[in-house]
A and B are shown apart, each in its own frame.
Chain A
Amino acid sequence: MRRSLTLVLLAGVMLAIVPYLGLPAFYESVLYLIFHWVALATSWNILSGYSGYFSFGHGAFYGIGMYTTATLTSQFDVPFLWTLPVAAAFAALFGIVLGAVSFRVKAVRGELFALLTLAATFVVATIVLNVPLIDGGQGVYLSAVPMPDFGPSPSGTFYLLALGAAVGTLVVALLIYYARFGTGLFAIHDDEDVAEVLGVPTFKYKVTAFGLSCALAGVVGGIQAMFVSYVTTGDVFTVALPLTVVLMSVLGGTRHWLGPSVGALVITVLLYSFTAGDSAVIGKVAMGVILIVVILFMPEGILGQALTRFGRKPKDREAHASLPPSAINQQLATAEAGTASMPASARPGEVAHGAAAAESFAPKRKAAASASSDVLLVAKDVAKSFRGVRALKGVNLSVYRGEILGLLGPNGSGKSTFINVVSGHFPATAGSIVFKGQELVGKHAHLVARCGISRTYQIPRPFAHLSVLENVALPAMFGGQLTERRQAEEDAWQWLEFTGLAGRAHALPDDLNLHQRKFLEFARALAAKPELLMLDEVLSGLTPSEIDEAVALIHRIREQGTTILFVEHVMRAVMALCDRIVVFDQGLVLAEGEPQQVMSRPDVVSAYLGKPIENEQSPNVSGARNGSGVHAHA
């Protein structure tokens, strides 16, 4: 990052010399245009490229900047340079208000956000057009406004201003790109709900990014107002401006801080070299053809494509040889076998932990022995309705520190909904959930994550554009720990080894198989170092041997002192793992207690297997015995 920053600043200083070289003014104005578009496209990319909220309202913020400068200089005789911060402030204010309103509505994403911002542009244009003080339909002339003369010539001054704006915008984009803020925005791009659950303050991030993006566009607009010296609504608030900015950014690549600059450079040079006469048409056609070809054949943009092809490949760590999970489990098992045979006093400190594992593997395990009587989470009368469908009708349960609590019940009984409510994914309709003395109901999901709760999703939801390593590093940066990126990646390696994914660290989630993706969910949930880990059907769809691996993994997680809430249908695993189980039925707690006891209760059996046809109890009881019989094998 420091290298990129130095390079940008160095390039800025070198380019600042150009106006003093005595080149014809022509070059300065071409370069002015390039800087102008670089700044505009890069500022757009801060919200839209990074977080995927494509704004078509960039013309509005740019226009607000233009009209702020135009009005203040022509009507109130404010010196030009002083109007630029004001232009930034007004544009940012409008952006923040628009963002604060539209980001509250969850469904306004993608095309709807684009349309909303486009509509906002026309509303602003109409207001500006109809307020006589600002425009009033005549346009504003700025030719009489005095220009500061710090440059060697008037065109040199504009050149330096635009260069300053471009460098400033690039620096902001670059700093965000490498910061926690940028990582959060990229996570929002891929899956906003998951980002929020992992601890990313999505609303705050989006509004902040929008505000920054607008402020920078406002400054560029202010400079441009002075440059063109005649401002009209018809030229400023167009559809073409945001579309051009989008075109440049997509062309260069929206997932990199430098991408929009590449696109801006290509398009501006292209348009400029075809300005005269009929060739203007050729330039436009070329622009359209390039846009279509790039989107069809290089969806990552020119820079994105170049980076994947020529960029340095991140190195795998040789030390972390890629062991499949089964091999790791085997290693552990042999270690356990070794330590178990040793006398307790002779155990080296390092493997004491393995011995604990061996103890918990022992078949004659006392339920809740490892769990204290210390209550970690208490849910009281938790209810959740979806438009009249009552998924949870008042659930009461407690989770004790250190235990593995199994959550069972037929499909649709509200198990996953309960996890979704606790993690803040859905707000609870009523009730209270207290975690370590803090009320969780009403808290945003990212704050719940910060308390030390993390979860996995039944269907894995990795961030598709982030590598496996980045996926795992993210929760460490945003969860309860808030570690720095370098440390977070260091920790992520650990979790990848723990789950046996170290060999795939630089792969994208799409290249993993289901088994590996489930383990990625594990690693990601663990990286937040949660006190309470909620596993939502992590075993479904796995083969028997993969289930064995996962069960061993869950054991190892608990050894680290993590409390686990475990939703599962695979009875063999439930019986092998859980200290206690809670059975849900139709949104209510039906039974609670030790696995063996609960699973032999007739009401639990009938909730699972249905009521006997001839009111005979015996087949059900044998069904329950079957369940415990499986346990004996496990």
Chain B
Amino acid sequence: MTLPSSTLLAQSILAGIFTGALYGLLGLGLSLSWGMLRQINLAHFALAFVGAYLTYQLASYGGVDPMLTLLMIVPLFFVFGIIVHWVLSHFKVTPFNSLLITFGLTIIIEAMLQWIWTADYRRLESSYAEHRYRVGDLFLPLPELITLGLSVGIAVAAWLVLKRSDIGKALRAAAEDAPIAAAFGINQRALALLLSGLNAALAGVAGVCIALSYTLAPSQIYTWIGVVFAAVMLGGLGRPMGPLIAGCIIGVSEAVTMAVASPSLAPLVSFSLLILVLLVRPGRA
């Protein structure tokens, strides 16, 4: 093990923050639906990949700017999220069964993606990837900067809404005890539908970011699950800033491990961290 140069170290920390931002963006929707709606939405990842493939298709073959695809993806996914939540709440599904049902949904979506776009790796070639900014010795690629900006912006906005607005307070009350909140006049069902629509839209936003910087394959859905769940747990369920901060901690620790030791050791750091948190402070959930 040799210590890398300070530039390499700084560059890997930066890379870690960029990956962490995506972990945070993916984790936000998951954390909110788990913490506030008691639904563990495994399909969040599959949904993000649907978004990524749609962006890929529209940008590569339709010539649409990748960021403009958000205009279509966000409302579309919003509706989808509402439908899924309506089904889950109609059948009064327990948190664990929501995980299994959304796993079923994930399998279906994965099969569909494979059917439409085949199992081959796809990569979006967009003009965004060519833009890189240089600060000192460090390179800042544009797609990653967009991801970071979106992730931070959305997390802060979600935090502000939950903390300050009446809707946010109503949501938190409903998350604490839905029947009691309903008895005090909170339209809990409408709020839950709204929140799950927004969560699905978040998956779409994350999907666009994935399309901008990563290679796509249907099987890649599963590679994100473990580490994003780690970020969600570390960040604390239902806390809007949690996944972002935890995601960055995980991302940086992974990137530094890659630079200092070996890339293949990276998961050891994040998952050992998760196990420790679960054992030492399980109350965060």
Contact = CB atoms under 8 A, between A and B. Distances in A.
B72 interface: no
A107 to B, nearest CB: 4
B100 interface: yes
Contacts of B268: 123, 126-127, 130
Interface string A115-156: 110111011011101100000010000000000000000000
A125 B283 contact: no
Interface string B56-83: 0000000000000000000000000000
Nearest to B283: A107
B182 interface: no
Interface in B174-233: 222, 225-226, 229-230, 233
Interface stretch (A29-37, A283-291, A469-477, A505-513): A283-291
A126 B265 contact: yes
B218 to A, nearest CB: 10
Contacts of A281: 111-112, 114-115
Contacts of B96: 54, 110-111, 114
Given A105-B282, A110-B95, A285-B112, A130 B222 contact: no
A239 B225 contact: yes
Interface stretch (B47-55, B130-138, B140-148, B271-279): B271-279
Contact of A137 (B87, B107, B264): B264
B110 A284 contact: yes
Interface residues on A, range: 35 or more
B226 A112 contact: no
Contact of B275 (A120, A284, A299): A120
Interface in A284-318: 284-285, 287-292, 295-296, 299
Contacts of B34: 111
Nearest to B45: A239
B108 interface: yes
Interface in B96-129: 96-97, 99-101, 103-108, 110-112, 114-115
B267 interface: yes
A296 B40 contact: no
Contacts, number: 123
Contacts of B265: 126, 130
A36 B207 CA distance: 36
A250 B100 contact: yes
A102 B40 contact: no
A295 B42 CA distance: 15
Contact of B267 (A102, A123, A289): A123
A371 to B, nearest CB: 44
Contact of B97 (A240, A285, A295): A295
Scoring A105, A246, A291 by chain B CB atoms within 10 A of each residue's CB, the highest score goes to A291
B69 to A, nearest CB: 25
A129 B225 contact: no
A111 B99 contact: yes
B82 to A, nearest CB: 17
A422 to B, nearest CB: 26
B226 A295 contact: no
A290 B107 CA distance: 11
A291 B102 CA distance: 10
Interface string B255-270: 0000000101111100
Interface of chain A, helix or strand or loop or mixed? helix
Interface residues on B, range: 35 or more
Nearest to A125: B267
A535 to B, nearest CB: 30
B157 interface: no
A111 B96 CA distance: 7
Nearest to B281: A107
Given A115-B233, A285-B111, A291-B104, A296 B279 contact: no
B93 interface: yes
A321 B156 CA distance: 66
Nearest to B106: A288
B47 to A, nearest CB: 14
Nearest to B111: A284
A123 B225 contact: no
B198 to A, nearest CB: 22
A282 B114 CA distance: 11
A288 B111 contact: yes
Nearest to B275: A119
A269 B170 CA distance: 49
A122 B233 contact: no
A108 B278 contact: yes
A202 B143 CA distance: 52
B271 A102 contact: no
A101 interface: yes
Given A137-B264, A295-B100, A122 B93 contact: no
Interface of B: 34, 40, 87, 91, 93, 95-97, 99-101, 103-108, 110-112, 114-115, 222, 225-226, 229-230, 233, 262, 264-268, 271-272, 274-275, 278-279, 282-283, 285
Interface of A: 54, 101-102, 105, 107-108, 110-112, 114-116, 118-120, 122-123, 125-127, 129-130, 137, 238-240, 243, 246-247, 250, 278, 281-282, 284-285, 287-292, 295-296, 299
- Enumerate the 8 nearest inter-chain pairs by beta-carbon distance, A residue then B residue, closest first: A291-B104, A107-B282, A288-B107, A288-B108, A284-B111, A292-B104, A288-B104, A119-B271
22 contacts: A101-B279, A102-B279, A105-B282, A107-B282, A108-B279, A110-B96, A114-B96, A115-B233, A119-B230, A123-B267, A123-B268, A123-B271, A126-B266, A126-B271, A127-B268, A137-B264, A239-B225, A243-B103, A247-B100, A282-B111, A284-B111, A288-B108
